[in-house]
Structure 1
Amino acid sequence: MESKKSQRKRQKEIMLVSQMIKLYCHKNHTNQNGKVLCEDCQQLLEYARFRSAKCRFMENKTFCSNCRIQCYSPEMKKRIQKVMRYSGPRIIIYHPVLCLKHALTGVIEKRRTKCD
């Protein structure tokens, strides 16, 4: 059974990834209505959700990019990296609180791992 901490981390990760994919899709693809993702971005989001749901290291990891095991397929890894490169610098404009929480989590985890 999964701990509450892992469940919360998984939910936060999926929320952030979905917001970043939505931002990328709405700014780069033809579907600009803000409600529906294009087929490729919807597929990437479903894949990210699936990989997060199967992650065995959720309790101890910070972010997927820092994980010792890269579980994304090479094609999906390239696609999510493209999304992250685009959305990363822009997400603070659209979701400042979410972005600040993400940054704070990263700082806390770096300090924690230095002490270990």
Structure 2
Amino acid sequence: MVDVDKRRQEELLTVGEIIRIYCRGHKHLRAAGEDLCPECRAMADYALGKLAKCPRMDIKSFCSVCPIHCYGKAEGAKIREMMRYGGPRMLLHHPLMALRHMLIEWRTRHGLRKKEALAGRKAVAPHK
């Protein structure tokens, strides 16, 4: 079992980097010495706060595969927009972090499908 605190830290770093890539890529105005504009800083604080308080961190991999959606509607739409923009660009800026994220997500989705298929077989009554 992966250490929950380590997993949380890795996810915090990944989300933070994706938001930075989004902010820079959209040329948002930032204050001197700041790496994020006020809008992206607010979104980063919101997302990182949700991750810090996540009660399912020990059993889930990423928010996208979690059955509980704790983001508000507007915030969820905004973070998805940021992920769609920044996620693919992570391969250029942080290739190892991106590949690790992709591997974990693939394993999680594959494992969930496998469990669902097995559960579906057990739920079906045998023919007599």
Q: 1:94-113, aligned counterparts within 5 Å?
A: 94-113=93-112
Query: What is residue 6 of structure 1 aligned with on the other side?
Result: 4
Q: 1:26-45, aligned counterparts within 5 Å?
A: 26-28=24-26, 29-31=28-30, 35-45=34-44
Query: What is residue 78 of structure 1 aligned with on the other side?
Result: 77
Query: What is residue 50 of structure 1 aligned with on the other side?
Result: 49
Q: How many residues are paired up?
A: 114
Query: Are the equivalent residues in 1 in contact too, given 2:31–2:37 (CA < 8 A)?
Result: no
Opposite residue 3 of structure 2, the aligned amino acid is K
Tell me which structure has the larger Cα radius of gyration: 2
Opposite residue 83 of structure 1, the aligned amino acid is M
TM-score for the superposition, normalised by structure 1: 0.87
Query: Are the equivalent residues in 1 in contact too, given 2:19–2:44 (CA < 8 A)?
Result: yes
Q: C-alpha distance in 2, partners of 1:9/1:103? A: 14
Gaps of 5+ in 1: none
Deviates more, 1:12-21 or 1:98-107: 98-107
TM-score for the superposition, normalised by structure 2: 0.80
Q: Percent identity?
A: 34
Distance 1:43 1:32, change over 3 A: closer
Distance 1:32 1:5, change over 3 A: same
Gaps of 5+ in 2: 119-128
Cα RMSD for the two superposed structures: 2.1
